[in-house]
Chain A
Amino acid sequence: MTSGGASRYNLPTPQRERNTLDIILQLVLNGLAVGCIYGLVALGFVLIYKATELVNFAQGDLMMLGAFTCYMFVVWYGFGYWVAFAVAVVTVGLFGAALDSLVLRRVLGQPQFAVVMLTIGLGAIFRSFASMTWGSEIYTLPTPFSAHTTRIGGVSVSHEYVSIIVGTILLCAILYAFFTYTKVGVAMQAASQNQLAAYYMGIPVKLMFSLIWAISAGVAAIAGVLLAPVSLIDINLGFIGLKAFAAAVLGGFGSIPGALVGGLTIGLIELCSGAYLPHGFKDVAAYVVLLAVLAIRPQGMFGTAGRKKV
């Protein structure tokens, strides 16, 4: 296993003559797109954490499963891209809900690290499963955006990166609307803040938690499918989850907008490290940021510090 996900993002080479602005724009787009992916995975972490105080170390592996499922439906069964996308998201979402009700509910109440270990174990199982079902090589997912570029104002813009950014914006808008305006969304917020009170108000808390897991897994799957054209699919795709931790911590572990802002920030920091620092530092930049945030301001940008009441 190489160190934490070494450079895996293939920059598409523009067919026309390159100029510096072109390259810079591509790099910035790359950084933003990758940052969006980090943000989405971090979003998944934070959703689960806010509801159940669990940290799901298998979030990255759920993303990997989403990417592989979509690949399977497109390449093996010949579905169209969009149909396969939807099916993959729904499948992984249901899988996440099943995971919650069958496995994770049993460990609620045990000390936190026990649950951490559980999710780590689950992640290993997912990777093994993926390796056995789909194989341990690297695969490409054909998408409507692959290797397409548009010229805007004299610079080429790769469709893959734009798809990621647009996809993230859409998803966040939908989630925001869901949580703020729909009854189910508000109920989920209530359940995550105070379980007992939610029960008293007639909210089916267990169902809400399964739903939160389903949404979180679905978001991870979406991130996986969006990422697939940029970074090829293989079983170690989930290690991006580790960098998404940095994003979640940077944004503040209990804050949803924080997760996204954190993701974008990490994406841009990685970009700058890749440009200005020697080779290899780009991979660990996220972890250095993580350690710095935890040491200086553990609640991140938007989080709040908690403390036990005695």
Chain B
Amino acid sequence: MRFVFKTSYAQDLGLFRDGVQRNWYLALFVGLLVLPVLVPTYLVDVSLVLIYGLAGLSLMVLAGYTGLVSLGHAAFLGIGAYAHVYFAQNLGLPWVVAVALAAVLTAAAGVLVGLPALRMTGVYLTIATLAFALIIQEVFVQWEPVTGGLRGKPVDKPVIFGLPFSSDVTFYFLCVVVLMGGLWLTGNVLRSPTGRAWVAIRDSEIAAQSMGVNLAVYKTMAFAYSAGLMGIAGALFAHKVGFLAPDIFSVLLSIQLLLMVVVGGLGSLHGALFGAVFVALLPVAISQARDSLPAWVGSATGIFGKSASTAAYLGVDRFVKQPGLEPGIFGLILVLFILFEPLGIYGRWLKLRIFFSTFPLYKRATFKRQKTYMRSERLR
């Protein structure tokens, strides 16, 4: 068992727990840098993972740290995307300015949603954000001069300070830099009074108030910061997909984003990243399974005879080739995680780590969940 030996208060202030953890992350960063050399064909997918990571970060700040669960974050992604493309292409502003303006605009939209949200608690807020997202989607359809409506809007490759970022490799590094920046900023906020106030709002609004936290201001700030980050993710997302259409930013995407943070593990930055990897790789895994699962099942049931094997193969083949399977699998995974692993992938990772570090003294009750049954306890 490794003890973290603390010698100064400043150590607790750092972004990393100690030198060892920092070195691990440094190694991870180096790995990210050399990735283009190792897997050049998958760079586009990895870029998407990074963008999802930024989006997950944004939602994690709002839902995981402040406890304001939003089912409408796809709307912010869309606002950021459309705004950035409009500023960069229609108005011809420099790329960095366009992204900054898009982030500001999205943050303003976040404030707009946040203000009425101050009077709502729990599920009502979730429903309100859902309604907001549906309204914004319709705005995307209707506001043709800016968004191109249902016809869609093509997106050029980014050109920053005159340098084109059109290749996969350059775009990948752009995403890496932006994600690192987002992580650094968010880490900073979370270790300062604002971050603590957000966590306080999540755990007990009344106690937070009595400690001097102005709920209205901090909730609005959480919305604004989360939306701003999402706006930046939206700008990168626009470049990644190359073509914007209103039906990209649907309720389904909002659900996917929420799935990302829940499956990843609410309440930690790692969770956002784990979730992003999961959600981005799941469609890939499903399509791989589509191709290989029938054959595998066919050979596995071979012991029961040729006809059984062929029947199994055809049956599984017909099952996995159906359209409409993907949302079902997402739903199933979401349900299974909530039922059996509410702390998400990061939670499972923590449990494993603690198991190994406290072996053989691991207590099963270490992660026992606190349940609240009384009606008055649930109203926060």
- Judged by CB atoms under 8 Å, the answer to whether A and B touch is yes
Q: Mark B331-373, 1 if CB is under 8 A from A, else 0.
A: 1111100110010000000000000000000000000010111
A294–B324 CB distance below 8 A? no
Given contacts A109-B372, A249-B124, A291-B128, contact A117 B262 (CB under 8 A): yes
User: Is B252 an interface residue, CB under 8 A from the partner?
Assistant: yes
Q: What CA separation (Å) do A310 and B208 show in the bound complex?
A: 13
User: Is A107 an interface residue, CB under 8 A from the partner?
Assistant: yes
Q: What CA separation (Å) do A308 and B334 show in the bound complex?
A: 30
Residues of chain A with a CB closer than 8 A to B141's CB: 3, 280
Q: What CA separation (Å) do A129 and B322 show in the bound complex?
A: 11
Q: What CA separation (Å) do A115 and B323 show in the bound complex?
A: 27
* Interface of chain A, main secondary structure: helix
Given contacts A3-B138, A306-B379, contact A287 B119 (CB under 8 A): no
User: Is B265 an interface residue, CB under 8 A from the partner?
Assistant: no
Q: What CA separation (Å) do A136 and B327 show in the bound complex?
A: 13
Binds B, one of A72-80, A119-127, A255-263: A119-127
Number of A-B contacts (CB under 8 A): 168
B132–A107 CB distance below 8 A? no
* Interface of chain B, main secondary structure: helix
User: Is B231 an interface residue, CB under 8 A from the partner?
Assistant: no
Given contacts A113-B126, A242-B134, A294-B120, contact A235 B324 (CB under 8 A): yes
B342–A110 CB distance below 8 A? yes
Q: What CA separation (Å) do A110 and B266 show in the bound complex?
A: 13
Q: What CA separation (Å) do A308 and B121 show in the bound complex?
A: 11
Residues of chain B with a CB closer than 8 A to A107's CB: 338-339
Binds A, one of B23-31, B184-192, B243-251, B298-306: B243-251
User: Is B328 an interface residue, CB under 8 A from the partner?
Assistant: yes
Contact sample, A vs B, 29 pairs, CB 8 Å cutoff: A1-B247, A3-B247, A3-B250, A53-B378, A106-B339, A107-B339, A110-B369, A116-B69, A118-B339, A120-B258, A121-B331, A121-B332, A121-B338, A128-B325, A128-B326, A128-B328, A131-B324, A131-B325, A131-B328, A239-B251, A242-B251, A284-B138, A287-B131, A290-B131, A291-B131, A294-B119, A295-B119, A298-B119, A308-B379
A-B pairs, top 5 by smallest CB distance, nearest first, are: A128-B328, A124-B331, A109-B371, A131-B324, A295-B116
